[in-house]
Structure 1
Amino acid sequence: MDTKEVKSTVSNLEKAVDDKTILKLLNILNDDVKPTEKLLRETKVGVVVNKYRSHANPQVSSLVKKMIRGWRGAVQAEKNNKKKSGMSPSSSANSSTNNNNNNNNNNDSTAKSEAAASSTASAPHRSYTGPRSAQKDGVNTQLYDNDTRNASVAALYNSLAVERDDAPKTIVAVATEIENAVYREEYSKLGESYRNKLRTFIMQLRNKKNPELRQRLLTRELDAGKFIKMSPNEMAPEELKKQIEKLHKQNLFDAQGATEKRAVTDRFTCGKCKHKKVSYYQMQTRSADEPLTTFCTCENCGNRWKFS
């Protein structure tokens, strides 16, 4: 599939509502997409597909996890191959300019580098089962002489690792950047403001219904500096944002529907400026058997009064 076809399929996937259609589109992407770093960046297909990682249908969630693992492994292999191919010209140039001893040393060094790159490319991608944590992953979060900061890094790591297969070094690097950004923002003070901010971020990141936030941070689409400036509403899952927006529009509609329509008449006289151009509306403010209350506003001076 080319970029245009992938974008079209992704668009249809975002609009799909029934499990059958979602599975069909996911299978098309799984079978036909040849993942490259450029394609994934241009189409954002990985971000969209990852939203279905926690889908209620186990077939959907299982397929998505398999796709993400495969694409991530393919992109990593692509990067390793680029690094490997980039070494050859350098080694060749060195061999043509250095003496025999240097050539031998360079060749040995290049051979070791190529062997390491080949080993990394061929190594199977690790798949994590069950809840992850810094302790289970064997990650050292004791980075500072302060227990509060170390505990913050560990908590951020645990939140970022929810339903993720990223390498521990990637997760701990992002967790450290977020903690550092908050620490600098609070002018190196570990007070309530520091703790409250980190609690908010940790709660948002550990939300299983918000995989796209973790995805954006771990793929560096969103950096730590911008992340800590976001409001809770901006961090909320896309589905929740849509629900909030829908509720907001409905509330506006309801409020407008409840607004009384004003009529302008010359039957009333303003007691203040004696003009007869008066707008009014009526409401039932007392019991049902009582007459309506009339609210008047003078269009000339703005004077208001009411009567029953």
Structure 2
Amino acid sequence: MNYDEVVQLKKSLAKAISEEKTSAILGIMKQFNDEVVVTKELLKKTDIGVFIGKQRSHPNADIARLAKDIVKKWKTAVQQSDPSKTNTSPKPNSDTINTVKVEDGGFVKPNPVDKSLTKRENSQGEISTPSPSLVKQENSFSENSSPSPGTPKIDNDRVINNKGDRSFKKDNVKYATGDSKRDKCIELLYDSLAFDSTHGSEIILSRAIKIEQIVLDQFDGEPEKQYRDKLRGMISNLKDKKNPGLRKGVVSGDITVQKFCIMTKEEMASEEKKARDREIQQVNLFKARGAGPTQAETNMFRCGKCGERKTTYFQMQTRSADEPMTTFVTCIVCNNRWKFC
């Protein structure tokens, strides 16, 4: 499979992932596994290793498992095809470590490592330091490593401790698109989703990345201000401490990323704010007279609150033209208000 075919297949996979079509995702990834003869040059040009590597944290177990198998297979193939990756590296107790480690399809060359750290880190695997050119760096958490001070401990994609005190920096998350503005938006999205969440950082990061990508695609070719304003509104509603249901729904998947990205600010608002808005709307409807006549006084209506028949009313077209007008009634005695069609 040549460069153009890999790029085209990558686009198909991205579309299937955004539409959450599990069978299509598995089919395309199997094509990558069976038909792609990977080389270091192909990985660098297409960035497919990074893209496949991201799916290792996919909520679907089959997709995540297949992604891990593909990354492992490609890593082995590239190392075997490069003579410099054979067993000619110095022993672990040397001053420098010259081995190369593949992470999510990208290649990084480690910097010299202090001897005092060599034995401890070699017990966990090869030592590597990501280069600045690496598009996506590995999350610093691993199943075999201990969390550093102040870092949440991950256990089966759950975070223990530090609830309510989490952020992109405090979770020590590493991710970069190469565009500083996009990186900042992803970081802010992560902060708004994570600060009181008990989910693993990989899940939260994947949600933030997908949200930013969908919004970017929505406003592709349009003024950057629309992209920023859309994200600003989303982040504001996600950060609202009185709106935990929205955060939990997006992170858990109860509210899909696709649905969240097309929700209006009103739909994202907390239940408290929605109730307040409905109340204000009711008051405004009663106050609105339009160009119609002033409200008339009548005894046709009986107040359900005080039982008096001293009322005023007016009518207004609040629905489509073929629907009957809405009658708004106000009790003169107790100021109770109601409406009917």
Higher relative contact order (CA 8 A, sep 6+): 1
Return the structure number with greater helix share.
1
Q: TM above 0.5, one fold?
A: no
TM-score (norm 2): 0.38
Larger radius of gyration: 1
